[in-house]
Amino acid sequence: MGECFFWYQPTRVVPDQRPLNGCCCCCCCDMLSVDGDADAAVEARIRIGWNKFRQLVPLLTNKDVSLIMRGRLYSSCVRSSVLHVRETWPVRKENVVALQRAEMRMVRWMCHVKLKHRPPSKELREIDDIALVLQQNRLRWYGHVLQKDDDWVKKCMEYEVEGPRPRGRPKRTWREVVREDCQARKLNKEDAMDLCKWRKMIKDVR
């Protein structure tokens, strides 16, 4: 079966128009890799986050503005743009590390701290770790899908592809990521039926 590429544009969708590298496409404001991983999506969101950060540099680095207000501005404008449509990313450890490094560079810039000072990351980061936010968002969306009775999203999530697998180690899937999240939080599908309980369990930091 041949590959079909769609290039997202604000006003129209043009089929069979490949990007320059021929390995990914942009759809619904997110990058989709042919290999099924989240590398292209993470790189694209980091670039978007840096663009948003540079637009807000006069405010984020202004010493007349308290760090609390700058942190709130960063979370609502910069981090939200980085983590847009992140619930379905089949992230690997390398992707999380790339997001953490980009965020710490921004935080150091905001706090006027240079790398040679070597301050602990926990002292600079008053907001939740981006890896924890990713996990909470995945679990929140996963619970939302489980609560649906008969929905095409739920069917796609539970769909099993038939046929032989290619040689080599299979790609990391989103279901594997969510399964690991549920094991780490000691969650099961039955817990998702109680919305209040589910939200409380995914917000508890463990």
Q: For residue range 55-86, what is the model confidence (pLDDT) as tens digits?
A: 999 999 998 988 888 888 998 899 988 988 78
- Residue 125, pLDDT score: 55
Q: For residue range 139-185, what is the model confidence (pLDDT) as tens digits?
A: 888 888 888 877 777 777 777 777 777 787 777 888 888 888 888 88
- Residue 122, pLDDT score: 53
What span, in angstroms and rounded, lies between the C-alpha atoms of 41 and 43? Answer: 6
Q: For residue range 20-30, what is the model confidence (pLDDT) as tens digits?
A: 343 444 444 56
Section 192-196 average pLDDT: 82
- Residue 17, pLDDT score: 40
- Residue 116, pLDDT score: 62
Section 95-100 average pLDDT: 92
Q: Which residues pair with 32 in a beta bridge?
A: 25
Block residue for tokens 């924890």? 132
Average pLDDT value for the chain: 76
pTM: 0.72
Angstrom distances, CA of residue 143 to CA of 82, 90, 99, 202: 22, 17, 24, 10
| Max avg pLDDT among 36-45, 99-108, 115-124, 151-160 | 99-108
Choice among 79-83, 101-105, 199-203 with the minimum mean pLDDT? 199-203
Section 15-42 average pLDDT: 57
Section 124-150 average pLDDT: 80
- Residue 13, pLDDT score: 35
